[in-house]
A and B are shown apart, each in its own frame.
Chain A
Amino acid sequence: MKVELRIQRFNPEKDSKPHFENYAVECEPTDRVLDAILQVKGVLDGSLTLRKSCAHGICGSDGMQINGRNMLACKVLVKNLKQPIVIEPLKGFKIVKDLVVDMKSFFEKYRSVQPYLQNEDPVPEKERLQSPAERERFDDTTKCILCACCTTACPSFWSDPNYVGPAAIVQAHRFLFDSRDKAKEERLNVLDSREGVWRCRTIFNCSDACPREIDVTRAISEVKRNLLFKKL
C-alpha cells in the first residue's frame, strides 16, 4: 500500500524554525511507522534524522508524536493510522535535529529520584527475600522503558519544564513500593517538592501515551496518597 507521511524537519545549521515535508513510500499494511520512516531515510532523503535501536518496543528510543499522540514508531502499524501520517518530535524538549530531541533534563530528573535499590542492611546469605505479594506491589512500574512518551504528553510538563514528570515518578514508585528498599525518605523529598507529584493534575495523557500500558496516573496517585497519609 502507498503510505503518505508528513514529517516535521529541522536542521539547526540551516533552518530558523521547524517545517513539514511530505513523502510517499510503498509499504506492507503490516509495516510499522518506523519501517515507513526508515524507507524515507533509506530511499528518499538520507538526511532525515531519528533515534531508534531495537525496533521491537524494548529500548524506548523512538518515542515521537504520531498523528497528534505520543507513541513508539516501532509499535504502531501503518494500516491502523489515518493518512497522511503526521510525525513530529516529542513536545517540550529542545529539538536537536528533525525527530531527535535533547533528553538531558529528562534523564537528570530520572537520576534525581535515585532509581536503584538501596539497602545498607547486612547482606543475607542467599538473597533479600520478598513475598509474591510484595513483588506484585510494584510490578506495573517495573515495565517502564524510559521512552518519555508520558512526560512529553503531560500538559503540566509543557507549562512547567521543571516538573519532575510522570516517568521519573514511575521510576521512583518502582523503588518506593519495593519492600527491600530503604531509601524512601530521599525519594519522597524530591517528589514532595514544588516540582514533584503535586504538579500532576490527573489529566491521564501519560497513561494514555505509555507504550508499556503502565497505569502511570495510578502510580502517581499512590505516591500522592502515601505522602498525604505518610503510610510508607
Chain B
Amino acid sequence: MIYRGKEGQWSWVLHRITGIGVLLFLLTHILDTMLVGWGPEIYNKVMSIYRHPFFKIGEVGLFAAVLYHALNGIRIILVDFWPRGTQYHRQMFYGEVILFFLAMIPVSFLMLSH
C-alpha cells in the first residue's frame, strides 16, 4: 500500500509531475526550434503538426502545469521563508487550488475557442 499522505504529499507529487512535464515541453521546444537550421520547409512542416487538436489540448495542459508549478512554488517559498508558513501550508494549498481554477476556467475557454 502506498503511504496515505495528506495535502503536503499530494502537492509535492503534483509539483514533481508538472515540473517534469514542463521540462519535457522545453526539450521538445528546443528541438523543434532547432529545425530552423534545416530550412523553412522542414520547419513549417513539423510546425503544422502542432495545429492538430491534440496539441491544442496539450497547450492548455502546459499552461495548467506552469500555473500549478508557479503557484505551488510561491507556497513553498512561503513555507520556507515565512516563519508561520508551516502552520498554514494546508490553507495555502487550498487557496492555491482555488486560484488555479479561477485562472484556468477563463484561460481554457479562451485558448480552446481560438
Interface residues of A (CB under 8 A from B): 65, 67-69, 86, 88, 91, 153, 155, 201-205, 207-208, 215, 217-218, 221-222, 224-225
Shortest distance in angstroms between A124's beta carbon and chain B's nearest beta carbon? 32
Q: Which of B6, B81, B83, B87 has the most CB of A within 10 A?
A: B6
B86 contacts A215, CB within 8 Å? yes
Give the segment of B7-15, B21-29, B50-58 that binds chain A: B7-15
Contact A204-B3, Cβ < 8 Å, known A218-B86, A218-B87: no
B87 contacts A204, CB within 8 Å? no
Interface residues of B (CB under 8 A from A): 1-9, 12, 76, 79-81, 83, 85-87, 89
Contact A88-B1, Cβ < 8 Å, known A221-B80, A221-B86: yes
Provide the bound-state CA to CA distance between A207 and B86, in Å.
9
Residue of A nearest to B84 (CB): A218
| A–B pairs, 29, beta carbons within 8 Å | A65-B3, A69-B3, A69-B5, A91-B3, A153-B3, A155-B3, A155-B9, A155-B12, A202-B76, A202-B79, A202-B80, A202-B86, A202-B89, A203-B9, A204-B5, A204-B9, A204-B86, A204-B89, A205-B3, A205-B5, A208-B6, A208-B8, A217-B86, A218-B86, A218-B87, A221-B86, A222-B83, A224-B80, A225-B80
Contacts of B7 in A (CB 8 A): 204
Provide the bound-state CA to CA distance between A67 and B3, in Å.
9
Contacts of B85 in A (CB 8 A): 221
Residue of A nearest to B6 (CB): A208
Q: Which of A68, A88, A208, A225 contacts B81 (CB 8 A)?
A: A225
Q: Which of B1, B12, B81, B87 contacts A201 (CB 8 A)?
A: B12
Contacts of A91 in B (CB 8 A): 3
Q: Ordered nearest first, which 3 A-B pairs have the shortest CB separation?
A: A204-B8, A68-B4, A218-B86
Provide the bound-state CA to CA distance between A65 and B3, in Å.
9
Q: Which of B1, B2, B5 contacts A203 (CB 8 A)?
A: B5
B86 contacts A69, CB within 8 Å? no
Residue of A nearest to B8 (CB): A204
